[in-house]
C-alpha cells in the first residue's frame, strides 16, 4: 500500500517537475547570500556563538538539504480535504488517512531527493567548495528520519485544526512564522539567548532543522538524538489522540 501511494504521488508530481526543480536555483542563491553575509560578519574571528565559520557554512548547507528531505504540507492538504468535504472519501477507506498522507509524502520527497537534494548537494560541494560529507552518516540518517517524522506529524496535527475551525490559514501562518524562527532555519539557535534556547528545548521546532543540521556537522551527543526520538514519539501520540477526538465530531459538511 505504502509503495503504491508513494509511486502514484511520485508520478503525479513528476508532471510538475519544473515546480520542484525551482529549488536548484532558489536554494543555492539563498545559500550564496548566507555564505557572503557570514563570511563578512566573521571577518578574522575564529568563532561566534561557539561556531567556527566553516561549521556555520556547513550548517546552512545542511539545513537547505535537510529541508528538501523533510519538506511537508500535510497541514494544507488535510485542511483542504476537510474544508471541501473530500475527507469523507478517506474516512471510508480501510486505511488510516495519516498513513496514506505519510505514504504520499514519501513519494513526494523521493522526487525531492532526485530533483532538489542531489543537484543542490553537488552545487554546494563543487561550486561553493563546502564539505558536504556528514560527520557521522548513521546518526545523520537517523536524525533526518526523525526530523521527517516530527515535521509530518506536527503539520498533520495543525491540519486537523480544520475539524474545529473552518479557516486555518491564520493558525498555519502563525505556526509557520514561529517554526521559521525557532527551528534554526533562519540562524543557528546557538545565537539565541540562553533562556530562549531552554524554551526551544520543549518545542518541536528545533528537532526538525537545528538538531539534524548539528548532527550533520558533528556537534551533537547521542542524547540530543534521543530527545529528538522522544519528540517524534510525542508528536505521533498527540496526532493519534487528536485524530480520535476529531473523528468523534467529524460530520463531513464541508463548505
Partner 1 sequence: MKSLSIYKICIKTAVSQAVAYRFNFFLSLLITFLGSLLLPLVAVLIYGAGASFPGWSFHEVLLIQSLFTVSQAMAKVCLGNVLWDTMIHVREGSFEVVLLKPMEPLAYMIATTFSPDSFGNLLCGLALFGYAAAHAQIVSAAAAIGAGLLLFIAGVAVMAGIQIIMAATSFKWVGNSRLPEIFGSVEAFGQYPIAIFPSAIRAVATFIVPVSLVGFFPAAALLGRAEPEAFWGAGLSLLFLGFGVWLYQHMIRRYKGAGG
Task: Please state at what angle helix 23-42 crosses helix 53-70, rounded to 10 degrees.
Answer: 160
Q: Give me the least distance between CB of 67 and partner 1, in Å please.
A: 12
Show the binding pattern over residues 195-214: x = contacts partner 1 (CB under 8 A), - = does not. Answer: --------------------
Q: Are 166 and 83 in contact (CB under 8 A)?
A: yes
Q: Give me the least distance between CB of 36 and partner 1, in Å please.
A: 5
Q: Which residue stretch of 6-14, 18-26, 108-116, 121-129 sits at the interface with partner 1 (rule: CB under 8 A)?
A: 18-26
How far apart are alpha carbons 88 and 239 in whole angstroms?
A: 19
46 binds partner 1 (CB under 8 A): no
Query: Rounded to the nearest 5 degrees, what angle is found at the Cα of 243, between the Cα atoms of 240 and 244?
Result: 90
Q: Give me the least distance between CB of 56 and partner 1, in Å please.
A: 11
93 binds partner 1 (CB under 8 A): no
55 burial level (CB within 10 Å; 0-12, 13-18, 19+): middle
41 binds partner 1 (CB under 8 A): yes
48 binds partner 1 (CB under 8 A): yes
How far apart are alpha carbons 241 and 20 in whole angstroms?
A: 33
Cell (9 digits) for 191 = 545565537
Q: Give me the least distance between CB of 144 and partner 1, in Å please.
A: 23
187 binds partner 1 (CB under 8 A): yes
**What does residue 175 show for φ and ψ, rounded to 5 degrees?**
-60, -40
The residues binding partner 1 (CB under 8 A) are 18-19, 22, 25-26, 29-30, 32-33, 36-37, 39-43, 45, 48-49, 167, 169-170, 173-174, 177, 180-181, 186-187, 191-193
Amino acid at each position: 500500500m505504502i509503495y503504491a501511494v508513494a509511486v502514484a504521488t511520485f508520478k503525479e508530481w513528476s508532471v510538475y517537475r519544473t515546480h520542484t526543480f525551482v529549488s536548484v536555483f532558489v536554494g543555492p542563491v539563498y545559500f550564496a547570500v548566507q555564505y557572503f553575509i557570514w563570511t563578512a560578519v566573521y571577518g578574522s574571528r575564529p568563532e561566534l556563538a561557539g561556531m567556527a565559520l566553516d561549521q556555520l557554512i556547513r550548517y546552512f548547507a545542511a539545513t537547505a538539504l535537510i529541508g528538501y528531505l523533510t519538506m511537508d504540507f500535510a497541514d494544507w492538504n488535510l485542511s483542504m480535504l476537510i474544508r471541501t468535504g473530500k475527507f469523507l472519501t478517506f474516512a471510508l477507506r480501510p486505511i488510516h488517512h495519516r498513513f496514506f498522507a505519510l505514504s504520499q509524502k514519501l513519494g513526494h520527497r523521493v522526487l525531492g531527493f532526485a530533483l532538489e537534494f542531489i543537484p543542490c548537494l553537488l552545487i554546494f560541494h563543487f561550486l561553493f567548495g563546502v564539505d558536504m560529507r556528514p560527520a557521522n552518516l548513521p546518526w545523520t540518517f537517523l536524525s533526518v528520519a526523525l526530523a521527517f517524522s516530527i515535521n509530518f506529524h506536527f503539520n498533520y496535527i495543525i491540519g486537523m485544526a480544520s475539524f474545529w475551525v473552518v479557516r486555518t490559514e491564520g493558525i498555519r501562518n502563525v505556526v509557520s512564522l514561529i517554526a521559521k524562527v525557532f527551528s534554526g532555519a533562519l540562524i543557528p539557535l546557538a545565537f539565541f539567548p540562553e533562556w530562549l534556547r531552554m524554551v526551544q528545548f520543549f518545542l518541536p521546532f528545533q528537532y526538525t532543522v537545528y538538531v539534524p543540521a548539528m548532527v550533520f556537522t558533528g556537534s551533537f551527543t547521542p542524547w540530543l538524538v534521543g530527545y529528538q526520538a522522544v519528540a517524534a514519539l510525542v508528536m505521533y501520540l498527540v496526532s493519534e489522540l487528536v485524530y480520535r477526538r476529531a473523528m468523534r465530531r467529524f460530520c463531513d459538511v464541508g463548505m
